[in-house]
């Protein structure tokens, strides 16, 4: 009994730490003027999200999150930011504009909407989660689902990745035959 309550407190403490790290780094990403710091904050955000995934017993997704995002996507971001150098700086527009005020109001309204709808519709139903066995979230289970029930999603994902790779090559290749002209500054 005591062991159970101690581990419960421990899980709560880890959750609070990860959730605050997640929220704080999320706000940091959108408020830094230097995109390099923004990208570094996003890595912190992804790492704390991986901790939350682990608490939800999604071990494979947490590992994939760290590998795919922190490993691959963020390296790509940092390369592009380094390539752009000083041109990548994103200073804030001076003073609050009606656009910024409207954006803050819109996203605050969105958050209120989410909280109200989830609070009203769940009404205690979200407090008793289903019992899971030890195979839940393991790579074997994910692989079995991918190759049986969710085969269509698997195939569509491969096509999406192929299209993105082709698009990246086309966008990134120099085309000497079509010189840049008539482009407005």
Please list every residue from 95 through 114 that binds other proteins, using CB under 8 A: 99-100, 102-104, 106-108, 110-111, 114
Distances (CA, A) of 53 to 6, 126, 137, 177: 21, 17, 10, 49
Query: Binding to other proteins (CB under 8 A): which residues in 144-173?
Result: 145-146, 149-150, 153, 156-157, 160-161, 163-165, 167-168, 170-172
Least spacing, CB of residue 93 vs other proteins, in Å = 7
Distances (CA, A) of 40 to 18, 90, 149, 157: 16, 15, 37, 27
The 10 Å CB-count burial string (b at 16+, else e) for 10-26 is eeeeeeeebeebbeebb
The footprint of other proteins on this chain (CB under 8 A) covers a number of residues equal to 93
Query: Binding to other proteins (CB under 8 A): which residues in 56-75?
Result: 56-58, 60-61, 64-65, 68-69, 72-73
82 touches other proteins by CB under 8 A: no
52 touches other proteins by CB under 8 A: yes
Least spacing, CB of residue 120 vs other proteins, in Å = 12
Distances (CA, A) of 22 to 6, 45, 57, 122, 168: 24, 5, 18, 24, 30
44 touches other proteins by CB under 8 A: no
């Amino acid at each position: 009994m005591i062991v159970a309550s101690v581990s419960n407190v421990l899980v709560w403490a880890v959750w609070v730490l990860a959730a605050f790290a997640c929220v704080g780094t999320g706000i940091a990403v959108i408020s830094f003027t230097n995109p390099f710091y923004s990208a570094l904050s996003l890595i912190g955000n992804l790492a704390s999200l991986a901790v939350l995934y682990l608490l939800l017993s999604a071990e494979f997704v947490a590992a994939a999150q760290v590998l795919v995002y922190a490993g691959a996507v963020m390296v790509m971001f940092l390369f592009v930011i380094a390539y752009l150098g000083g041109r990548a700086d994103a200073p804030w527009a001076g003073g609050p504009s009606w656009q910024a005020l409207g954006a803050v109001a819109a996203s605050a309204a969105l958050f209120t909407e989410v909280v109200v709808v989830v609070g009203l519709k769940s009404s205690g139903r979200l407090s008793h989660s289903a019992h899971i066995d030890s195979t839940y979230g393991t790579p074997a289970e994910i692989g079995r689902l991918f190759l049986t029930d969710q085969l269509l999603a698997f195939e569509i994902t491969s096509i999406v990745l192929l299209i993105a790779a082709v698009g990246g090559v086309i966008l990134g290749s120099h085309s000497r035959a079509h010189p840049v002209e008539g482009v407005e500054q």
